[in-house]
Structure 1
Amino acid sequence: MQSLSKRDRGVLYILMAGVFLSFLNQTLMNTALPSIMREFNITTALGQWMTNGYMLVNGVMVPLTAFLIQRYKTRNLYLTAMVIFATGTLIAGFAPTYPILITGRMIQAIGGGVFGPLMNVIVMNLFTSDKRGAAMGIIGLALNFAPTIGPTLSGFIVSNVSWRWLFLGIAPLMIIDLVLAALMLGNIGEQKFLKFDFVGVILSSIGLGTLLYGFSNVGTGDWTSPNVWAFILIGSLVTYGFVFQQTHTSVPLLNFKVFTYHNFWVAVLINVVLMTALYGGALMLPLYMQTVRGTSALISGLVIMPGALVTAMLSPTSGKLYDQYGARVLAPIGLGITFVGTVILSSLALDTPLWVPVVGQFIRQVGLVLVMMPIQTEAFNAVPLALMPDASAAFTTVRQVAASFGTAALITVYSLVTLAQKQAGHSLKVAEMQGIHTAFWMASLIIVVSGLLTLLLHKRQPSA
């Protein structure tokens, strides 16, 4: 990795810590949900807003980041986002009622939506194109390790102390990062005094919000419910209106010219397909461990732990391999490994030894760590620095929608197969097992499609 000044290195590590804490907090809630539901005496549908509410606000914020990153200085934007995030965390930790808890989560999401896109822009500015892979590999420690360690950490905390420590334990770390940022953080890039696109904000908020809400409702309903299809339809139409408005205004909130760069749109397409398999498939393993096998949240988390550790260890290496070989070589190899791990998980049975899902998830994570950050870096390397805020916001927005769709799609597959098996006279556990099998096989097929899409990538060209 090229040498960095003390200022630039401080910027990188401070931002990395913020991204890690925000991504970690996103993944802590699923395991804690039963405890929260018991304490506040709420239904599962209400409880899902712990994650759905965060996802919706976060998804609405991301398109705004392209404007915010260019309009405000790096230091001021990061400090403001961290103050908002820490405030939401404290509100959630001390929440006396469930509505206040949800309010805290949504305030968190306002700040958290800024961190990821801001980090991408900073890295692209600090490093030349031939060194960005190594830098993004280090960032992968935060982006990849936090979501995989979250369920294990959450299971341990909930099993031993109150769920409130999921917030209160992280809050001091956020405050420390905030103090360090105030002392050390400098500004990266050139500040632009852009005009605020109010119409674009309204359209993107309504479009993405309703689209994500529709997908999130699939877990508690079905595609024929108005809470699903109506919101997805409205969200799709308004999002189309947002894209049309952005491509016909002189000062867009999000510059869609980034999609005219070949490797950017191909990398986005690969990421869309991969997210569908990744997030939907990731939901099936805890379902298998806790619902079908009846293990505790802690045991379920420990099954995922080896994969989380290998993700942390290999992230910097995958970045260096990207700098050396590029995504055209690395991505197919990683997807092939991911396919093998997913096929292993698709063969799970009621009496499968626990080491089998451990190995399957481990192999799956090895493959994913060789794909995720290289594909993202490939997308950003294809775009000039002047368009980097727009590229980062667009990539992140599309990824969130794809993840929501993937989760909804595989939940639907699982639910339909489980229902069919129950109607055929099979026991609930056997029916659920067959649903999980089918969902994992579907994820395997989607991974193959991702692999074929890598053939569309052009040989990378150095960007400014």
Structure 2
Amino acid sequence: MKQAVDINGKPYNRVLLISVLLLGSFCTILNQTLLATAFPVLMKDFKISASTVQWLTTGFMLVNGIMIPITAWMMNKFSSKKLYLFAMITFLIGTLQCFLAPSFNLLLIGRLIQTIGVGVSMPLLQTIMLTIFPPEKRGAAMGMTGIVIGLAPALGPTLSGWIIDHYHWRDLFGMIIPIVVIVIVLAFFFMKSVIPLSNPSIDILSVILSTLGFGSLLYGFSSVGNDGWGSKIVISTLILGIILIALFSRRQLKLEHPFLELRVFKEPVFMIAAILSGVTNMAMVGAEMVIPLYIQNIRGESAFHSGLMLLPGALVMGAMMPITGIIFDKYGAKRLAITGMFILTAATAPFAFLTETTPILYIIVLYAIRMFGISMVMMPVTTSGMNALPEKLITHGTAVNNTFRQIASSIGTAILISVLTNVTTSKLPDKTMLKTTPLAYKEGATTATLSGYHAAFLVAIVFGILGLTISLFLKKNPVINKDAGKEEAGQ
């Protein structure tokens, strides 16, 4: 590969730039799930309720979802070096505040500051990788990105469980601080401005509609687990979110220089890839929530051990991401996606028949097979969609794809958790049995809970079948937009 040059024509070391980018992004994305097992300890330390501590996750998700569309504008307005330094310094400030927080309110504020850095760094990572590599090598490049995006959140629960068991919850943040400081120092020397700038003006009304619309929609779906679909808050926030996003979308299609270019959906390859990526995320994230609940509630394992059981699956996905990226560069996404979705669906089916005595090793292996299937779909499909766009729309394509995936994850989780809750509740034995025949009530409650898990996994199977069906519409050969330097390949 010829010498890499930045937007000013100056040469730079591509390997060092990528290394700094991946290390920093790993730290930021790891934080999505790093507090997974710390909630009970935080509730005890700060004397707060479960619904209050949940804001550390809900707030993180909301700000992240809001920041992703804004980042598309920022990437076209500011140099990628300055933007990356902004993301990492903001993340460091938030992490320091979390580490030192004397109260829950200050911990939450620190968490939200962290999330601004995450919301910028994740789309920036993908856009830079798509920009500095030619289309025919983007599969391998996005495979490396997939290691970070897929592996970091999956490692969070296991790592946090181990630290909570052996150290203090503050160490969850303390261990990251020196690494982020090193990343910032290295970024000053090795990060370069590589994304072409167009200096767009900002449309304030678009920012307001985007922030309130996506924020309201994500809040609505995140509230379903606790409040149910019939809750006035859930219904009102979902309706408000849909209305504001519709107004936002209408405005973007009328603006000559939109805040977020939604015309990327006019490219059929991108649209199919975005939908399939979203459905895959629904299948992955929803099941990632339900499986640990089964392991903890039915099998009586700790949060740490439940996270540990999912670790082999995370490692399988991390190991496979670069391999599937290389395969994509040679053969395209269609065969990979069909095979991956079939494996994902087939490996999900046995979870619909879990019992109290299902061997733990069986669950670990099945989950690893699911993640193997997901690794064949996630990054190859995303890359195929991006390759179909002209270079000038890569930043918008990345933002649209990430926003779509974030919303799909929230929808998938909300659906599975609500199905699990509703089926379990409907099948619970009469509470009078608790006094008359407590053993029979306990047995009935366990059966009801298992029925809830079975129903949730049946829905996850439906997600898998839906994804498998959509994957049939992908192009057989790689599709590369003419603006990216190659002619389009047909089916």
Q: Give TM class, smaller chain.
A: over 0.9
1:223 aligned counterpart, secondary structure: coil
Q: Does 1:308 align with 2:314?
A: yes
Give the one of 430, 451, 456 matched to 1:439.
456
In 1, Cα distance between equivalents of 2:85 and 2:280 = 33
Residues of 1 paired with 2:394 and 2:462: CA distance? Answer: 32
Q: Is the 8 A contact 2:429 2:444 kept in 1?
A: no
Structure 1 counterpart of 2:74: 68
Within 2, Cα distance between the matches of 1:275 and 1:84? 27
Q: Quote how far apart the aligned CAs of 1:215 are.
A: 0.5
2:364 pairs, out of 358, 361, 364, with 358
Map 1:151-162 → 2, pairs under 5 A: 151-162=157-168
Deviations 1:330-353 (A, max 9, x none): 001011111122123222211112
- Counterpart of 1:95 (choices 93, 101, 112) is 101
Q: Aligned residue for 2:261?
A: 255
In the alignment, is the contact (CA less than 8 A) between 1:417 and 1:431 conserved in 2? yes
Match of 2:210 in 1: 204
- 1:13-64 C-alpha deviation (Å, 9 max, x unpaired): 2111122111111111121111111111111111110100011011111000
Residues 190-199 or 57-66, more deviating: 190-199
Partner of 2:478: 460
Paired residue secondary structure (1:159): helix
Distance, in Å, in 1 between the alignment partners of 2:166 and 2:446 is 29
Give, in whole Å, the separation in 1 of the partners of 2:480 and 2:412: 33
Asked whether the 8 Å contact 1:2–1:131 carries over to 2, the reply is: no
Tell whether 2:420 aligns with 1:403.
no
Identify the residue that residue 43 of structure 2 maps to in structure 1. 37
CA distance in 1, matches of 2:238, 2:480: 39
Mapped to 2, the partners of 1:44 and 1:11 lie a distance apart of 41
C-alpha separation in 1, matches of 2:369 and 2:37: 23
How far does residue 98 in structure 1 lie from its aligned partner after superposition? 0.5
Give the superposition deviation at 1:2: 8.1
Is structure 2 residue 33 aligned with structure 1 residue 27?
yes
Contact 2:384 2:479 in 1 (8 A): no
Is it true that 1:53 corresponds to 2:59 in the alignment? yes
Match of 2:120, SS state, is helix
1:198-237 equivalence runs, <5 A: 198-237=204-243
**Preserved contact between residue 30 and residue 152 of structure 2 (Cα < 8 Å):** yes
Identity %: 38
Determine the C-alpha separation between the residues in 2 that align with 1:428 and 1:377: 46
1:240 equivalent in structure 2? 246
- 1:169 partnered with 2:187: no
2:434 corresponds to 1:428: no
1:65-90 CA-to-partner distances (Å, cap 9, x unmatched) read 11100100011110011100111011
- Determine if contact 2:12/2:192 at 8 Å carries over to the other structure: no
- Unpaired runs of 5+ residues, structure 2, are 5-10, 431-440, 485-491
User: In structure 2, what residue type is equivalent to 1:106?
Assistant: L
After superposition, residues 277-426 of structure 1 pair within 5 angstroms as 277-423=283-429
Tell me, yes or no, if structure 1 residue 183 matches structure 2 residue 200. no
Q: Which residue among 150, 154, 172 is the counterpart of 1:148? A: 154
Q: Deviations over 1:423-455 (max 9, x none)?
A: 476633322221111111110111011011012
Task: Please give the alpha-carbon distance, in whole angstroms, between the structure 2 residues aligned to 1:429 and 1:44.
Answer: 23
Q: Secondary structure at the match of 1:134?
A: helix
Q: Is the 8 A contact 2:155 2:311 kept in 1?
A: yes
Q: Distance in 2 between matches of 1:11 and 1:383?
A: 24
How far apart, CA to CA, are the structure 2 residues paired with 1:295 and 1:342?
21
Deviations 1:278-297 (A, max 9, x none): 11111011101112221112
Deviation of 1:269 after TM superposition, in Å, equals 1.1
What SS does the corresponding residue of 2:13 show, helix, strand or coil?
Answer: helix
AA partner of residue 118 (structure 2): G
Q: Is the 8 A contact 1:7 1:185 kept in 2?
A: no
CA-to-aligned-CA distance 1:374-401 (integer Å, 9 cap, x gap): 1111111111111011000000011101
CA distance in 2, matches of 1:410, 1:2: 48
Q: Which has the larger radius of gyration?
A: 2
**Is this contact kept in 1: 2:252–2:261, CA < 8 A?**
yes
Amino acid at match of 1:218: V
Q: Is the 8 A contact 2:63 2:215 kept in 1?
A: yes
Q: SS state of the match for residue 359, structure 2?
A: coil
Change (3 A) 1:270 1:212: same
Give the Cα separation in 2 of the matches to 1:385 and 1:29: 37
Give distance in 2, aligned partners of 1:272 and 1:183: 36
Q: Unmatched 5+ residue regions in structure 1? A: none
- 2:488 aligns with none
Partners of 1:93 and 1:167 within 8 A in 2: yes
Task: Determine the structure 2 residue equivalent to 1:12.
Answer: 18
Q: Distance in 1 between matches of 2:66 and 2:189?
A: 30
Contact 1:200 / 1:246 at 8 angstroms: preserved in 2?
yes
| C-alpha separation in 1, matches of 2:223 and 2:320 | 35
Separation in structure 1 between the aligned mates of residue 451 and residue 23 of structure 2, nearest angstrom: 41
Equivalent AA in structure 2 for residue 418 of structure 1: T
In the TM superposition, what whole-angstrom CA distance separates every residue of 1:114-133 from its partner, at most 9, and x where no partner exists?
11111121111111111100
The answer on whether the counterparts of 2:317 and 2:371 sit within 8 Å (CA) in structure 1 is yes
What amino acid maps onto 2:375 in structure 1? V
